[in-house]
Structure 1
Amino acid sequence: MDQKCLSVSNSHIADGLSLHDYIVGVIYDKVKDVYLMINYRQRGGLWFPFTECRINETSLQTVKRLLDPVVIYDYEQIQLFKVCSTKTLPFKGRDVLFYAIIPKSTHAISAWLSGKMDGIDIERQINTLQDNSIVWLTTNQLKSISKLSRLLGMEPLSLNKQFKDIFHSTIKLNNINSAVIFEEVKIPQIETISKTSHNNSAETLVLSARFTSTIQEKLYEEYHNAVLPSDYLNLETFKELISRKGLESQHSIDYFRAFDSTQRNYLTFLDYLLGLAALDPNTQHGGVPAEQRCRYIFRYYNINNNQRMTFEEFKLMIKDIHNNKGENLSGDRLNDQALQMFRLFGLRSSDQTLSLMDFLSGVGQLRFRGTSVLFRLSMSIGDIFQRSSSSPSPSITPSTMMMPSATSNIITSNRNLNIKTMTHRSAIQEPLSNMSVDESHPYEIATHIVKVKKTGVVVDITSLYDLEIAGAISGSTALFFDDDNGKCDR
């Protein structure tokens, strides 16, 4: 191979710091239909071999350094193809380069497989693999492991077709040095819009959480550093990130399930962003944000993750509602209270299950209250970043990214984001009185308009938060909806 073709620089300079690319080696035996995977135990998943480029090191030299401890191979018997270039952060960021490492003969394959496992018994051996263990896995085995959230990221499956097309294609040997089979440059953006534009529920949720573009950039920096060189967030890495937000580690799986709205067992940046927005104490528990929050709350307690909440799962919710009010219910008292609340949804016995839609309807019609205290951070994301600005949290990866300016476009390579954000109210509101906001008040601000017939039948309930979004509330009345007092106590 002509080394000159790969001698381009693999580093970028950002504010005096050198940011090196990541090289990912995709090794595939098309005869046995298996991929080579390494167990990165500390990060909780199997993935392709990868390493960070060193200073003045070419891609070929990096790949050779990557392969030496991994497989037995004949250096002259391999071909190197650039599979894709996934640019995740054009500003001050890194490039993750996937290279297909293809043998020129079956002799090379035999050398690779020498002393290695042809596969693993998924159920019995996945938890016993040592750190840096090497295994050969079929696509079906990768799918099984993915369901257990034991891949570092979804790329071995999401890029599987492209990889196989490369390995099964016939390319002239004289073109191998410059061949780029496909190159993906994914640069979706999060833009800033005015408060009058509300395109979808996701935008409304982020707006309600007061996630400015600067906060989102910081969140993406945190996410990007944690998942490199993958573009997906697995359970183990998720635990590291949410521990910085003050959430209890014993409930990490429950939070992960709540964030994972698509049930893919991995999170994209959009999943991470919206989940934190639902958790943020700034997020209004009324109108569209309340409905979105209730979906997260339902998934959090729906341990079976089947959109049907059992009575036992429902009891956990009731217990937490009372715990947040300083009441400790247990035993028969908890069971009786939960059964009473269960019947508010039209369910007659504890043998029945509560559907997601019935739960949303019951909360929306104010038949079931108390969810506003559930699924909350103790401190807003903005305050967490402000508090840690003087002593930033250590990065999971060896190096630390520099913060982009507030005007930079934030991007992510795993999904085309269209979340557009701004501060809910740009001006800091002055206190309406000398009373502390933390002080208990002898009153509650009305948050709904309820129309009732003379017979006592409720015919319509309108959230004042919805009216504010529609522009029907203005002036001094709107000030209440920027404060925690305006949140619906559902």
Structure 2
Amino acid sequence: MLDPGILEFLRKFLKDREQAISFCISEFTQDMFLVDVSDSRQEMKKTQEMLLQAADLSLNDQKQVYRDFFSEAFPKLFVTFPQFRRIMLKYGWPPDHLKNIFRTLTFRAEFSDRSFNLRKHPGRMDAKYLSYSELICGLAACEPHVPHGDQTGESRTRYIFRFYCRDPSGKLDFSEFREMVRDIRRCKGFSTDEIDVLNEATVSAKVFNCEEHASLTLTDFLTGVGQLKFRGTSHLLRAPVSLPIRLRENEKMRQTSSVPSTNKGSSTISPPLSPDIGTGARKRTRPTSEAVENNSDIGDSSHIMSFEAMADAAEDDMSFISPSFEDNVGPDSYDYATHVVRVKRTGQVLDVQSLWEFEAFNVSSEANEMLKGLRYFERTVKNDPDKMPMSWGKERVNLAIVWTQIAEIDHKFQKS
């Protein structure tokens, strides 16, 4: 499946091929997706910030969800249902209603500036992709302790209506409303006998001025729940286990599943990777072959890194894991190696090279220098004088000199 951003571009292009499509270069960073709800200076106005604050999801919790999401989505910014299913199974959700939950969470794109508003057909309810913003907001709204009143209650009510409403018209029919009543009675421990459910659904429908064969709109449903005319929705759409608790359990399982080093003759040094993710340039050092050769005693060598330490360092910095299969298990799961080493027969590790030291990942490589130049061209720079966006500013003279040199080289090449 193509990335939704590409599909949106093609949709605009095919609609009017003669119209010039404007665009600018943008770089997505982790800070664009995470919200520090503990910052009292930040105004909590947007739906995402409000839900995250109510769910008490810390920055560490959000970083873990961010990591899980983009481990599945990369290099795209969205996940499809199979990827969403793997994420939710990891968070302890039962697989029974995940398709309905996936459909439920996609509607946030209609009113969120942090999401990618590519679904511009209000009657369409079969979106096949989900953004990070939609996922984190849905998880926050489903937290067991999130209050069901005020703005959070309204957002939760919208999710609940969406969950039970499968009609593309956006109206809840009586059979779907009856299913909602059945689930409420089950959560309260009441009888779910068909006659009891039908009787209560018939009585409750009159609260919304709806008869048995009429449909219920979202506005009427919000009004009835908000005025406490229809009770019990606070029990619906709750996560089986709190997300922060589940994230801590997953982290403990990940740590205990790692095999400890059994080589008592070698010592492990601190990994040469920055522990912070996405907080600037990574500074790395690696032992040279000369330094290792000079240490004849392996047990006293401080330049020998065990394979376990290198694996932990790579996983702390960035996890390159396979999308895996439906249940996230199986012999076909794999990890990308993030280090290349040479090992002597004596067990000494020589020439440790991390993935980031290769030319393609080197921040000073020609390709990355070109990208840095394009970012400079696209952005505003506060200086004397200021550089306007989409211009080279004072660097245009240097750029002209470079192009002149390139032209001279090409001219000599053509002559030869």
Interval of TM-score (by shorter of Structure 1 and Structure 2): 0.5 to 0.7
1:244 partnered with 2:90: yes
| Structure 2, unaligned runs of 5 or more | 111-124, 258-320, 325-333, 339-416
Counterparts of 2:27 and 2:79, CA distance in 1: 20
Counterparts of 1:387 and 1:380, CA distance in 2: 11
State the 1:337 CA deviation: 1.1
- Per the alignment, residue 359 of structure 1 pairs with 221
Please tell me whether the aligned partners of residues 245 and 377 of structure 1 are also in contact (alpha carbons under 8 angstroms): no
**1:42-85, CA deviations, whole angstroms, 9 ceiling, x for partnerless residues?**
xxxx34xxxxxxxxxxxxxxxxxxxxxxxxxxxxxxxxxxxxxx
State the 1:194 CA deviation: 1.1
SS at match of 1:338: helix
State the 1:322 CA deviation: 0.7
CA gap of 1:218–1:274, structure 2 versus 1, over 3 A, is same
CA gap of 1:316–1:217, structure 2 versus 1, over 3 A, is same
**Share of identical aligned residues, percent?**
26
CA gap of 1:209–1:400, structure 2 versus 1, over 3 A, is farther
CA gap of 1:324–1:161, structure 2 versus 1, over 3 A, is closer
Select 2:250's aligned residue among 388, 392, 399. 388
Counterparts of 1:365 and 1:298, CA distance in 2: 16
5 Å matches for 1:285-300?
A: 285-300=148-163
Structure with the bigger RCO (C-alpha within 8 Å, sep 6+) is 1
State the 1:277 CA deviation: 0.6
- Per the alignment, residue 65 of structure 1 pairs with none
Counterparts of 1:162 and 1:359, CA distance in 2: 36
TM-score in terms of structure 1 length: 0.45
Counterparts of 2:209 and 2:144, CA distance in 1: 31
SS at match of 2:241: coil
Select 1:207's aligned residue among 16, 35, 53. 53
Please tell me whether the aligned partners of residues 285 and 293 of structure 1 are also in contact (alpha carbons under 8 angstroms): yes
- Per the alignment, residue 137 of structure 2 pairs with 274
CA gap of 1:396–1:282, structure 2 versus 1, over 3 A, is farther
User: What code does the residue aligned with 1:158 have?
Assistant: E
**1:257-295, CA deviations, whole angstroms, 9 ceiling, x for partnerless residues?**
110114443111100110101111121111110110000
Counterparts of 2:322 and 2:190, CA distance in 1: 39
Select 1:259's aligned residue among 105, 110, 124. 105
Counterparts of 2:337 and 2:246, CA distance in 1: 18
Select 1:378's aligned residue among 240, 252, 274. 240
State the 1:183 CA deviation: 4.8
**1:380-432, CA deviations, whole angstroms, 9 ceiling, x for partnerless residues?**
11000111211139862644899xxxxxxxxxxxxxxxxxxxxxxxxxxxxxx
State the 1:161 CA deviation: 6.9
State the 1:247 CA deviation: 2.1
User: What code does the residue aligned with 1:302 have?
Assistant: C
Select 1:302's aligned residue among 147, 165, 178. 165
| Structure 1, unaligned runs of 5 or more | 1-45, 48-152, 169-180, 403-490
State the 1:344 CA deviation: 1.0
Is the strand fraction higher in 1 or 2? 1
State the 1:234 CA deviation: 1.1
TM-score in terms of structure 2 length: 0.52
**1:101-148, CA deviations, whole angstroms, 9 ceiling, x for partnerless residues?**
xxxxxxxxxxxxxxxxxxxxxxxxxxxxxxxxxxxxxxxxxxxxxxxx
SS at match of 2:253: coil
State the 1:226 CA deviation: 0.9
CA gap of 1:304–1:361, structure 2 versus 1, over 3 A, is same
Select 1:157's aligned residue among 7, 13, 30. 7
1:313 partnered with 2:176: yes
1:194 partnered with 2:40: yes
CA gap of 1:235–1:163, structure 2 versus 1, over 3 A, is same
SS at match of 1:272: helix
**1:191-247, CA deviations, whole angstroms, 9 ceiling, x for partnerless residues?**
433177322233111100001111111110000001122211111211111112222
Counterparts of 2:101 and 2:184, CA distance in 1: 17
Counterparts of 1:215 and 1:230, CA distance in 2: 22
Counterparts of 1:294 and 1:319, CA distance in 2: 17
Counterparts of 1:265 and 1:160, CA distance in 2: 17
Select 2:68's aligned residue among 197, 213, 222. 222
- Per the alignment, residue 322 of structure 1 pairs with 185
Is the helix fraction higher in 1 or 2? 2
Please tell me whether the aligned partners of residues 66 and 132 of structure 2 are also in contact (alpha carbons under 8 angstroms): yes
Please tell me whether the aligned partners of residues 299 and 305 of structure 1 are also in contact (alpha carbons under 8 angstroms): no
User: What code does the residue aligned with 1:310 have?
Assistant: D
Counterparts of 1:221 and 1:384, CA distance in 2: 15
CA gap of 1:201–1:162, structure 2 versus 1, over 3 A, is closer
> CA RMSD for the aligned pairs?
3.1
CA gap of 1:161–1:258, structure 2 versus 1, over 3 A, is closer
CA gap of 1:297–1:189, structure 2 versus 1, over 3 A, is closer
Please tell me whether the aligned partners of residues 302 and 313 of structure 1 are also in contact (alpha carbons under 8 angstroms): yes
CA gap of 1:305–1:246, structure 2 versus 1, over 3 A, is farther
Counterparts of 1:302 and 1:275, CA distance in 2: 16
User: What code does the residue aligned with 1:376 have?
Assistant: R
